[in-house]
Structure 1
């Protein structure tokens, strides 16, 4: 009983085993890199600091005779609809800093 239970692989089989091991190593490293990239992206989004400081108490001055018709929040914008002298304006502000972001005026044709 000098026979071994598992015969030695032939050179072709050994080359195939080495190639399969190399491919498995590449696939494993690629998977680990992808998982690390996803975790880094999640961590970045969770822990990134906001560039702007929280807004302090702010008083917006309206022209004399202006009347606020409505307010709303749209995404990261604060939208204020104002009536002034028969015309309607929509004012938008950044919700975090309360800085003006835009102004839309409506007027009737003459």
Structure 2
């Protein structure tokens, strides 16, 4: 069998091959950069997370005659709505430590 000779590329073909190689290199580097960014973001999230929160026991004293109307979570805060003898009050606590974070009292105008 005779071997078929592969002809040398013309200068235009050689320039095209070089351009395609350059574009493939750019595409490969861009893909590698994107994958690295995703891995860094995932790693950051994993190592930054505080893990599971250990339950804390706390006792909050309420004024006499107060009743809890509702509770809820807002971000890192536990929100408790109280009715204290007709006056609405919202108390917020840190959800992780259960320490008081603030009070908001609503009163009617006289």
Deviations 1:39-74 (A, max 9, x none): 2212322332429x6453222222343332222234
Correspondence list, 1:22-101, <5 A: 22-50=22-50, 54=54, 56-101=56-101
C-alpha RMSD over aligned residues: 2.6
Q: Which runs of 5 or more structure 2 residues have no equivalent in the other structure?
A: none
Deviations 1:54-105 (A, max 9, x none): 4532222223433322222344321111122321101122212223333221
Partner of 1:12: 12
Count of aligned pairs: 108
Check the 8 A contact 1:92/1:101 in 2, yes or no: yes
Q: Distance in 2 between matches of 1:21 and 1:55?
A: 58
Check the 8 A contact 1:70/1:80 in 2, yes or no: yes
- Provide the TM-score with structure 2 as the length reference: 0.76
Q: Distance in 2 between matches of 1:43 and 1:109?
A: 53
Q: Which runs of 5 or more structure 1 residues have no equivalent in the other structure?
A: none
